[in-house]
Amino acid sequence: MSTENNLQNLYNGAIKILTDLIAFKTISGENNSPLIDYCDKILNSLGAESFRTYDDEKKRVNLFSTLKAKNENEKKPIILSGHTDVVPVSKGWSADPFVATIKDDKLYGRGSCDMKGFIACVLAYAPIFSNSNLDRDIHFSFTFDEETACLGAPILISELKKRGINNGICIIGEPTNMKIIDSHKGCYEYTTYFEGLAGHSSEPHKGVSAVEYASRYVNKLIELRQKLKEREPKDSIFDPPYSTLQIGGIFGGIAHNVIADKCHINWETRPVVKEDGIFLNSEIDKYANEILLPEMKKIFPNSSINKEIIGEVIGFDREKDSKACEFVSNITGDNSREVVSFGTEAGLFQEIGISTVVCGPGSIQQAHKIDEFIELNEIKKCLKFLEGVKNKSIN
Ligand SMILES: [Zn+2]
C-alpha cells in the first residue's frame, strides 16, 4: 500500500475513534470508566500491558498502558498523555455536543480539541507502534479530572514513581496547533472559611464577626500580592512576569444589624516559581493562625479559620536543554518555544524527572467553548507527528 493510502486509513481510523470518544459523556467528576474500558480494549488487543489507578470512590479511572520495546537498548521511553474528561456544556450548541459532526473540514463535539482529538490519534496509531520493531517502550497515559485542578494525574504519578517510571519523555497532547509549549505558571485555588459568633449589632464586642476577620485576611492577601511583585524573578518569561493573586469572592453575613458568624473567601494565585506558592501560603497561614485566630478565640473559643485547597496545579518550568522539546522539534522542524496561560498536567510529570512538553492537535481558542471543534487537518498533522515518534523509536 502506498504511504498516502496508509495515511488515509489511519486518518479514517482516527475519525472513527474520535467519534466514539466524544459519545462518552466524560464531564469532569463523572464516571469515565466506559471510555477507559474502550481505550484499554484497543491497546490490550495490540499486546499492551496496562494498569489502572482510581479516585477514592473508584468511580473515576486513570489508565496507563505500555507497548514494550522489542529490543532493549537503554532508549528512554515515550509517554503519550491526555486527559479523558471534558468541561460541562452550556446551552447554545448548534447540535448535540456528544455526537461528533463534520462540517467544513471541522469536526464538532465536546472534547474534540480538548483533548480527545489527541487521544484518538494515538489510539489510531497504536497498531503501527505495535507492529514496529520498537526499541523503546511507548506508554499511553489517560487521566481523569484534569479540568478540575488536575485531580487524577497526581494519583497516577505517585504510582509511576513507585514503579520506577520516572524518566524518559512525556508528550502532553493539549491543543497547541502542534506547537511546542514548554512552560506555564502554576494555578492554586483556595477557599478560606471563617467561623465566629453571631450576635446583636449593638454589642459588637460580644460577638466575633466572621466578615470582619475575613476582610482583614483579604487585606493581608492584597499586601502579600505586592510582595509577590517584588519577588519577580530575573528573566521571567511570563506575562505579567511575577506571581499574581486574585480575590474571586467574599460571601458572608445576613443583615445590617446581625454580627456575621460565617464568611468565606475564594481566592487564587498563579505562581511563576514554586517558592512563591510556598512563601504566600506560609505567610497567610501564619497571619491567620498567629494573629487573627487568637483574637477570635479570646471572645469565642470555638472560632475557626480553615483554608481548603481547591486545587494546586503546579507550574511547568522551562528547562534549559529539554530532551522532550528537542525530540519534538526534531520531528516537526519547528524550534519555537511558547508559554501559555492555561494549566496542564505537565508540571506533575516534570516533577518526577520526566522531560515534558505540551504539544497536540487543535487550538486552545476552541477549547471550553460552545460548538467546540477541531480542524481535520490538525488530526492529519498529529498522525504525521506520531509517524515521526515511531521513526525515532525503531532501529
Ligand atoms: Zn485540556
How far apart are the CA of 83 and the centre of ligand 1, in A? 7
Q: How far apart are CA 251 and CA 253, in angstroms?
A: 7
Q: Which helix (H) or strand (E) holds 184?
A: strand 181-184
How far apart are the CA of 82 and the centre of ligand 1, in A? 8
CB atoms within 10 A of CB 142: 27
Q: Do 144 and 345 contact (CB within 8 A), yes or no?
A: no
- Ranges 87-91, 247-251, 262-266, 387-391: which has the least confidence: 87-91
Grid cell locating 116: 480527545
At residue 8, does pLDDT exceed 60? yes
Q: Mean pLDDT over residues 150-162, rounded?
A: 93
Residues identified as active-site = 85, 146
Q: How far apart are CA 157 and CA 328, in angstroms?
A: 22
At residue 349, does pLDDT exceed 80? yes
Cα maximum dimension of the chain? 87
Residues with a beta carbon under 5 angstroms from ion ligand 1? 114-115, 174
Give the pLDDT confidence of 318-348 residue by residue, as tens digits.
Answer: 998 999 999 999 999 999 999 987 889 999 9
How far apart are the CA of 114 and the centre of ligand 1, in A? 5
CB atoms within 10 A of CB 10: 21
At residue 3, does pLDDT exceed 80? no
At residue 300, does pLDDT exceed 60? yes
Q: Do 158 and 352 contact (CB within 8 A), yes or no?
A: no
How far apart are the CA of 183 and the centre of ligand 1, in A? 15
Q: How far apart are CA 25 and CA 42, in angstroms?
A: 19
Name the band, by pLDDT with cuts 50, 70 and 90, for residue 149: confident
Q: What pLDDT does 322 receive? A: 96
Mean pLDDT, the chain, integer: 95
At residue 42, does pLDDT exceed 70? yes
Closest to 63 (Cα-Cα) out of 165, 179, 144, 148: 144
| Residue 228 CA, distance from chain mean position | 24
Give the pLDDT confidence of 66-123 residue by residue, as tens digits.
Answer: 999 998 777 899 999 999 999 999 899 999 999 999 999 999 999 999 999 999 999 9
Q: Mean pLDDT over residues 355-370, rounded?
A: 94
How far apart are the CA of 368 and the centre of ligand 1, in A? 9
Using DSSP's 3-state secondary structure scheme, residue 263 falls into: strand
Angle at 164 between CA 159 and CA 170, to 5 degrees: 80
Give the pLDDT confidence of 221-236 residue by residue, as tens digits.
Answer: 999 999 999 999 998 9
Q: Mean pLDDT over residues 49-55, rounded?
A: 97
How far apart are the CA of 85 and the centre of ligand 1, in A? 8
At residue 5, does pLDDT exceed 80? no
Q: Which helix (H) or strand (E) holds 250?
A: strand 244-252
How far apart are the CA of 342 and the centre of ligand 1, in A? 9
Q: Where are the alpha helices (DSSP H) in 134-273?
A: 153-162, 210-230
DSSP of 337-359: -EEESS--SHHHHHHTT-EEEE-
Using DSSP's 3-state secondary structure scheme, residue 251 falls into: strand
- Per 3-state DSSP, the chain is made up of helix, strand and coil in percentages (nearest 5) of 40, 25, 40
CA distance to 128, 349, 375, per residue, from 117 (Å): 18, 21, 10
Which residue did the predictor score with more confidence, 257 or 2?
257
Q: What pLDDT does 2 receive? A: 58
How far apart are the CA of 110 and the centre of ligand 1, in A? 11
Give the pLDDT confidence of 193-213 residue by residue, as tens digits.
Answer: 999 999 999 999 999 999 999
Q: Mean pLDDT over residues 175-195, rounded?
A: 96
Grid cell locating 36: 477507559
Q: How far apart are CA 122 and CA 330, in angstroms?
A: 19
How far apart are the CA of 344 and the centre of ligand 1, in A? 7
How far apart are the CA of 299 and the centre of ligand 1, in A? 48
DSSP of 280-320: HHHHHHHIIIIIIHHHHHHH-TT-EEEEEEEEEE--BPPPT
